[in-house]
Amino acid sequence: MKILKVSLLATMLLLQAAAGAEVCTTQSQMTATERDGLASAAKSLADKVQAGDVAGLRAMTVAELEKDFNGVQSVVGQTAPKLTGGLLTVTQVYLLDGSELKRGADGSAPDAQFFCSLNKTAAEVDFLIPALPPGRYGFAIVESTGATPWRLSFLMRQEQGKWMMAGLYPKPILAAGHDGLWFWTQARQMVKAKEQWNAWLYYQQAELLLRPVNFVQSSHLEKLHAEQSAAAPLALSEGVTADAPLVVKGANGAEYHFVGLGVDDSLAKDKVDVIAHLKVDQIGDPVVARKRNADAMSALVAAYPEMRKAFHGVWIFAEMPGQNPYPSEQAMSEIH
Protein backbone atom coordinates (compact mmCIF):
# COMPACT_ATOMS: atom_id res chain seq x y z
CA MET A 1 0.00 0.00 0.00
CA LYS A 2 2.82 2.41 0.77
CA ILE A 3 4.41 1.86 -2.68
CA LEU A 4 1.05 2.41 -4.35
CA LYS A 5 0.51 5.61 -2.40
CA VAL A 6 3.89 7.02 -3.38
CA SER A 7 3.25 6.08 -7.00
CA LEU A 8 -0.14 7.78 -7.01
CA LEU A 9 1.31 10.88 -5.37
CA ALA A 10 4.12 11.05 -7.93
CA THR A 11 1.57 10.76 -10.73
CA MET A 12 -0.50 13.57 -9.24
CA LEU A 13 2.55 15.78 -8.95
CA LEU A 14 3.49 15.14 -12.58
CA LEU A 15 -0.02 15.94 -13.74
CA GLN A 16 -0.02 19.13 -11.72
CA ALA A 17 3.34 20.22 -13.08
CA ALA A 18 2.17 19.57 -16.63
CA ALA A 19 -0.95 21.66 -16.05
CA GLY A 20 0.92 24.47 -14.29
CA ALA A 21 -1.35 23.98 -11.30
CA GLU A 22 -0.97 24.71 -7.57
CA VAL A 23 2.53 25.26 -6.22
CA CYS A 24 3.73 25.17 -2.60
CA THR A 25 6.83 26.96 -1.35
CA THR A 26 8.06 26.12 2.14
CA GLN A 27 9.74 28.71 4.34
CA SER A 28 13.22 27.32 3.68
CA GLN A 29 12.65 27.83 -0.06
CA MET A 30 11.28 31.37 0.20
CA THR A 31 13.21 34.57 -0.23
CA ALA A 32 13.72 36.58 2.93
CA THR A 33 11.25 39.16 1.62
CA GLU A 34 8.54 36.54 1.06
CA ARG A 35 9.12 34.88 4.42
CA ASP A 36 9.22 38.13 6.38
CA GLY A 37 6.15 39.49 4.63
CA LEU A 38 4.06 36.44 5.46
CA ALA A 39 5.33 36.25 9.03
CA SER A 40 4.69 39.95 9.63
CA ALA A 41 1.13 39.72 8.31
CA ALA A 42 0.39 36.63 10.42
CA LYS A 43 1.81 38.27 13.55
CA SER A 44 -0.30 41.37 12.94
CA LEU A 45 -3.45 39.26 12.59
CA ALA A 46 -2.58 37.29 15.73
CA ASP A 47 -2.01 40.50 17.69
CA LYS A 48 -5.50 41.65 16.76
CA VAL A 49 -7.06 38.33 17.78
CA GLN A 50 -5.21 38.51 21.12
CA ALA A 51 -6.44 42.07 21.70
CA GLY A 52 -9.98 41.20 20.65
CA ASP A 53 -9.71 43.88 17.97
CA VAL A 54 -12.56 42.70 15.74
CA ALA A 55 -12.73 45.93 13.73
CA GLY A 56 -9.00 45.87 13.01
CA LEU A 57 -9.16 42.21 12.02
CA ARG A 58 -12.13 42.83 9.76
CA ALA A 59 -10.19 45.55 7.93
CA MET A 60 -7.53 42.93 7.09
CA THR A 61 -10.00 40.31 5.81
CA VAL A 62 -10.87 39.27 2.24
CA ALA A 63 -14.28 40.41 0.98
CA GLU A 64 -15.94 36.96 0.95
CA LEU A 65 -15.22 36.46 4.66
CA GLU A 66 -15.69 40.09 5.68
CA LYS A 67 -19.27 40.37 4.40
CA ASP A 68 -20.45 37.70 6.86
CA PHE A 69 -18.16 38.30 9.82
CA ASN A 70 -20.38 37.13 12.70
CA GLY A 71 -18.76 33.71 12.83
CA VAL A 72 -15.25 35.15 12.96
CA GLN A 73 -16.33 37.69 15.58
CA SER A 74 -17.66 34.88 17.77
CA VAL A 75 -14.45 32.87 17.39
CA VAL A 76 -12.33 35.90 18.30
CA GLY A 77 -14.48 36.53 21.38
CA GLN A 78 -13.95 32.97 22.57
CA THR A 79 -10.24 32.86 21.72
CA ALA A 80 -8.92 36.24 22.91
CA PRO A 81 -9.20 35.41 26.66
CA LYS A 82 -7.13 32.27 26.13
CA LEU A 83 -4.28 34.37 24.67
CA THR A 84 -4.13 36.90 27.53
CA GLY A 85 -0.52 37.58 28.50
CA GLY A 86 0.84 35.07 25.99
CA LEU A 87 3.91 35.68 23.85
CA LEU A 88 2.97 35.26 20.17
CA THR A 89 5.52 33.62 17.87
CA VAL A 90 5.20 32.74 14.19
CA THR A 91 6.42 29.14 13.89
CA GLN A 92 5.59 28.09 10.30
CA VAL A 93 4.77 29.80 6.99
CA TYR A 94 3.94 28.41 3.53
CA LEU A 95 3.31 30.06 0.17
CA LEU A 96 0.45 28.42 -1.74
CA ASP A 97 0.21 29.66 -5.31
CA GLY A 98 -3.21 28.90 -6.73
CA SER A 99 -3.14 31.60 -9.41
CA GLU A 100 -3.75 29.02 -12.14
CA LEU A 101 -6.86 27.55 -10.52
CA LYS A 102 -9.89 27.68 -12.81
CA ARG A 103 -13.43 28.38 -11.70
CA GLY A 104 -16.21 26.07 -12.79
CA ALA A 105 -18.61 26.96 -15.60
CA ASP A 106 -21.09 28.11 -12.93
CA GLY A 107 -18.47 30.36 -11.30
CA SER A 108 -17.84 27.99 -8.38
CA ALA A 109 -14.39 27.91 -6.80
CA PRO A 110 -12.42 24.69 -7.36
CA ASP A 111 -10.86 22.39 -4.79
CA ALA A 112 -7.11 22.98 -4.47
CA GLN A 113 -4.24 20.62 -3.66
CA PHE A 114 -0.79 21.79 -2.58
CA PHE A 115 1.98 19.23 -1.96
CA CYS A 116 4.86 20.64 0.08
CA SER A 117 8.11 18.68 0.23
CA LEU A 118 10.04 19.44 3.41
CA ASN A 119 13.75 20.17 2.96
CA LYS A 120 13.96 17.96 -0.14
CA THR A 121 13.11 14.85 1.88
CA ALA A 122 10.30 12.31 1.62
CA ALA A 123 8.46 14.18 4.39
CA GLU A 124 5.51 16.27 3.23
CA VAL A 125 2.84 18.68 4.36
CA ASP A 126 -0.20 18.67 2.09
CA PHE A 127 -3.00 21.22 1.84
CA LEU A 128 -6.30 19.97 0.41
CA ILE A 129 -8.49 23.07 0.49
CA PRO A 130 -12.08 22.86 -0.80
CA ALA A 131 -13.70 25.67 -2.83
CA LEU A 132 -10.62 27.91 -3.01
CA PRO A 133 -10.91 30.96 -5.32
CA PRO A 134 -7.92 31.47 -7.65
CA GLY A 135 -5.15 33.52 -6.07
CA ARG A 136 -1.85 33.57 -4.23
CA TYR A 137 -2.22 32.32 -0.69
CA GLY A 138 -0.17 31.99 2.45
CA PHE A 139 -0.63 29.72 5.44
CA ALA A 140 0.90 30.59 8.80
CA ILE A 141 0.91 29.14 12.30
CA VAL A 142 1.31 31.43 15.30
CA GLU A 143 1.73 29.98 18.79
CA SER A 144 1.00 31.64 22.11
CA THR A 145 3.21 30.52 24.99
CA GLY A 146 1.21 31.86 27.90
CA ALA A 147 -0.54 30.19 30.83
CA THR A 148 -2.83 28.57 28.25
CA PRO A 149 -0.71 27.58 25.23
CA TRP A 150 -2.71 28.10 22.06
CA ARG A 151 -2.21 27.86 18.31
CA LEU A 152 -3.61 30.25 15.71
CA SER A 153 -3.53 29.19 12.07
CA PHE A 154 -4.26 31.68 9.31
CA LEU A 155 -5.07 31.24 5.64
CA MET A 156 -4.22 34.50 3.85
CA ARG A 157 -4.64 35.75 0.29
CA GLN A 158 -2.50 38.39 -1.36
CA GLU A 159 -4.48 41.33 -2.69
CA GLN A 160 -2.80 44.40 -4.20
CA GLY A 161 0.45 43.42 -2.51
CA LYS A 162 -1.09 42.97 0.96
CA TRP A 163 -1.79 39.74 2.82
CA MET A 164 -5.46 39.57 3.86
CA MET A 165 -7.06 36.98 6.18
CA ALA A 166 -9.08 34.31 4.36
CA GLY A 167 -9.48 31.94 7.31
CA LEU A 168 -8.86 31.80 11.07
CA TYR A 169 -8.39 28.46 12.87
CA PRO A 170 -7.60 28.56 16.62
CA LYS A 171 -6.79 25.38 18.55
CA PRO A 172 -5.30 24.44 21.92
CA ILE A 173 -1.78 23.04 22.05
CA LEU A 174 -2.38 21.01 25.23
CA ALA A 175 -5.09 18.74 26.60
CA ALA A 176 -5.09 17.81 30.29
CA GLY A 177 -1.70 19.54 30.48
CA HIS A 178 -0.03 17.45 27.76
CA ASP A 179 0.86 18.01 24.10
CA GLY A 180 0.13 15.82 21.09
CA LEU A 181 3.46 14.00 21.15
CA TRP A 182 2.86 12.97 24.76
CA PHE A 183 -0.50 11.44 23.84
CA TRP A 184 1.12 9.70 20.86
CA THR A 185 3.81 8.22 23.11
CA GLN A 186 1.21 7.13 25.66
CA ALA A 187 -0.85 5.50 22.90
CA ARG A 188 2.16 3.43 21.84
CA GLN A 189 2.71 2.29 25.42
CA MET A 190 -0.98 1.38 25.69
CA VAL A 191 -0.67 -0.75 22.57
CA LYS A 192 2.19 -2.66 24.20
CA ALA A 193 0.07 -3.09 27.33
CA LYS A 194 -2.79 -4.41 25.12
CA GLU A 195 -5.05 -1.50 26.10
CA GLN A 196 -6.38 -1.12 22.57
CA TRP A 197 -9.40 1.04 23.39
CA ASN A 198 -7.33 3.50 25.39
CA ALA A 199 -4.69 3.58 22.66
CA TRP A 200 -7.24 4.18 19.90
CA LEU A 201 -8.69 7.15 21.79
CA TYR A 202 -5.28 8.58 22.76
CA TYR A 203 -4.24 8.47 19.10
CA GLN A 204 -7.35 10.57 18.41
CA GLN A 205 -6.31 13.12 21.02
CA ALA A 206 -2.78 13.21 19.62
CA GLU A 207 -4.12 14.03 16.16
CA LEU A 208 -6.47 16.70 17.48
CA LEU A 209 -3.51 18.50 19.03
CA LEU A 210 -0.96 17.95 16.25
CA ARG A 211 -3.14 18.75 13.24
CA PRO A 212 -3.47 22.54 12.95
CA VAL A 213 -6.54 22.51 10.70
CA ASN A 214 -8.66 19.88 8.93
CA PHE A 215 -7.39 20.65 5.42
CA VAL A 216 -3.76 19.99 6.40
CA GLN A 217 -2.26 16.49 6.15
CA SER A 218 1.36 15.39 6.58
CA SER A 219 3.66 12.38 6.50
CA HIS A 220 3.84 12.70 10.29
CA LEU A 221 0.06 12.42 10.67
CA GLU A 222 -0.16 9.58 8.14
CA LYS A 223 2.22 7.60 10.34
CA LEU A 224 -0.02 8.28 13.33
CA HIS A 225 -3.09 7.12 11.36
CA ALA A 226 -1.31 3.92 10.33
CA GLU A 227 -0.40 3.14 13.94
CA GLN A 228 -3.95 3.87 15.11
CA SER A 229 -5.47 1.63 12.44
CA ALA A 230 -3.06 -1.21 13.24
CA ALA A 231 -3.86 -0.95 16.95
CA ALA A 232 -7.64 -0.56 16.65
CA PRO A 233 -9.79 -3.16 18.42
CA LEU A 234 -11.60 -5.52 16.05
CA ALA A 235 -14.93 -3.88 16.88
CA LEU A 236 -13.55 -0.59 15.51
CA SER A 237 -12.19 -1.98 12.25
CA GLU A 238 -14.80 0.04 10.35
CA GLY A 239 -14.80 2.98 12.76
CA VAL A 240 -17.82 4.07 14.80
CA THR A 241 -20.51 5.60 12.60
CA ALA A 242 -24.27 5.60 12.11
CA ASP A 243 -23.80 2.84 9.54
CA ALA A 244 -21.43 0.85 11.75
CA PRO A 245 -22.40 1.59 15.37
CA LEU A 246 -20.61 0.18 18.38
CA VAL A 247 -23.23 -1.94 20.15
CA VAL A 248 -22.76 -2.47 23.89
CA LYS A 249 -25.10 -4.48 26.09
CA GLY A 250 -25.92 -3.24 29.58
CA ALA A 251 -26.35 -5.23 32.78
CA ASN A 252 -30.15 -5.18 32.33
CA GLY A 253 -29.84 -6.58 28.81
CA ALA A 254 -30.53 -3.25 27.07
CA GLU A 255 -28.47 -2.50 23.98
CA TYR A 256 -26.77 0.85 23.49
CA HIS A 257 -25.85 1.91 19.97
CA PHE A 258 -22.92 4.34 19.91
CA VAL A 259 -22.47 6.16 16.59
CA GLY A 260 -19.41 8.20 17.60
CA LEU A 261 -16.57 7.76 20.06
CA GLY A 262 -13.89 10.33 20.82
CA VAL A 263 -12.18 12.47 23.44
CA ASP A 264 -13.00 15.77 25.14
CA ASP A 265 -11.01 18.23 27.27
CA SER A 266 -13.70 20.85 27.92
CA LEU A 267 -13.64 20.28 31.69
CA ALA A 268 -9.86 20.87 31.86
CA LYS A 269 -9.26 18.04 34.33
CA ASP A 270 -6.03 16.10 34.90
CA LYS A 271 -7.20 13.55 32.30
CA VAL A 272 -9.34 13.92 29.19
CA ASP A 273 -12.87 12.50 29.01
CA VAL A 274 -14.32 9.89 26.70
CA ILE A 275 -17.14 11.33 24.59
CA ALA A 276 -19.76 8.95 23.17
CA HIS A 277 -22.68 9.73 20.87
CA LEU A 278 -25.67 7.52 21.65
CA LYS A 279 -28.39 6.85 19.07
CA VAL A 280 -31.87 6.94 20.63
CA ASP A 281 -35.42 6.68 19.31
CA GLN A 282 -36.54 9.63 21.42
CA ILE A 283 -34.89 11.98 23.87
CA GLY A 284 -37.66 11.81 26.49
CA ASP A 285 -37.99 13.96 29.58
CA PRO A 286 -34.78 15.04 31.36
CA VAL A 287 -35.11 12.52 34.21
CA VAL A 288 -35.50 9.58 31.82
CA ALA A 289 -32.81 10.89 29.46
CA ARG A 290 -30.30 11.38 32.26
CA LYS A 291 -30.85 7.86 33.63
CA ARG A 292 -30.48 6.36 30.16
CA ASN A 293 -27.22 8.26 29.68
CA ALA A 294 -25.95 7.05 33.06
CA ASP A 295 -26.87 3.46 32.18
CA ALA A 296 -25.09 3.83 28.83
CA MET A 297 -21.96 5.10 30.62
CA SER A 298 -22.05 2.11 32.97
CA ALA A 299 -22.42 -0.29 30.06
CA LEU A 300 -19.55 1.30 28.12
CA VAL A 301 -17.13 1.27 31.04
CA ALA A 302 -18.17 -2.25 32.10
CA ALA A 303 -17.49 -3.49 28.56
CA TYR A 304 -14.09 -1.75 28.40
CA PRO A 305 -12.88 -1.33 32.01
CA GLU A 306 -9.39 -0.23 30.91
CA MET A 307 -10.92 3.21 30.27
CA ARG A 308 -11.24 3.84 34.00
CA LYS A 309 -7.53 4.51 34.50
CA ALA A 310 -6.88 6.47 31.31
CA PHE A 311 -9.77 8.97 31.42
CA HIS A 312 -11.33 11.38 33.88
CA GLY A 313 -14.90 10.45 32.98
CA VAL A 314 -17.46 9.95 30.21
CA TRP A 315 -19.69 12.32 28.28
CA ILE A 316 -22.79 10.83 26.66
CA PHE A 317 -24.73 12.75 24.00
CA ALA A 318 -28.11 11.13 23.38
CA GLU A 319 -29.05 12.01 19.80
CA MET A 320 -31.94 11.64 17.41
CA PRO A 321 -32.68 13.46 14.13
CA GLY A 322 -34.59 16.73 14.44
CA GLN A 323 -33.99 17.24 18.17
CA ASN A 324 -31.28 18.82 20.25
CA PRO A 325 -28.96 16.20 21.80
CA TYR A 326 -29.16 15.53 25.52
CA PRO A 327 -25.67 15.58 27.11
CA SER A 328 -24.51 14.47 30.53
CA GLU A 329 -21.14 13.74 32.11
CA GLN A 330 -19.89 11.73 35.05
CA ALA A 331 -16.46 11.13 36.51
CA MET A 332 -15.24 7.53 36.49
CA SER A 333 -15.65 7.40 40.27
CA GLU A 334 -19.38 8.15 39.82
CA ILE A 335 -19.98 5.46 37.18
CA HIS A 336 -21.11 2.15 38.66
DSSP 254: -
Is the pLDDT at 280 greater than 50? The verdict is yes
CATH class for the domain made up of 2-172: alpha beta
Above pLDDT 70, what percent of the chain?
Answer: 93
Is the pLDDT at 12 greater than 80? The verdict is no
Q: At what angle do helices 180-192 and 196-210 cross, to 10 degrees?
A: 160
* Rounded average pLDDT over 252-268: 95
Sequence-distant (≥ 6) Cβ neighbours of residue 105 within 8 angstroms: none
Q: Are 283 and 320 in contact (CB under 8 A)?
A: yes
H-helix segments, the chain:
2-19, 32-51, 54-58, 63-66, 70-79, 180-192, 196-210, 219-231, 286-303, 307-310
Q: Are 294 and 328 in contact (CB under 8 A)?
A: yes
Above pLDDT 90, what percent of the chain?
Answer: 88
pLDDT band (50, 70, 90) for residue 2: very low
pLDDT band (50, 70, 90) for residue 148: confident
Q: What is the pLDDT of residue 17?
A: 39
Mean pLDDT lowest among 114-118, 178-182, 194-198, 318-322:
114-118
* Rounded average pLDDT over 259-273: 97
Q: What is the pLDDT of residue 122?
A: 63
How far is it, in rounded angstroms, from Cα 79 to Cα 50?
Answer: 8
Q: Are 214 and 224 in contact (CB under 8 A)?
A: no
Q: What is the pLDDT of residue 252?
A: 85
* Rounded average pLDDT over 282-292: 94
Is the pLDDT at 8 greater than 80? The verdict is no
List where CATH 3.10.450 sits in the chain: 2-172
Determine how many CB atoms are found less than 10 A away from the CB of residue 87. Answer: 9
Q: Which of 244, 238, 96, 255 is nearest to 167 (CA)?
A: 96
Is the pLDDT at 20 greater than 90? The verdict is no
Chain centre distance of CA 156: 19
- Cα 103-108-109 angle, rounded to 5 deg: 60
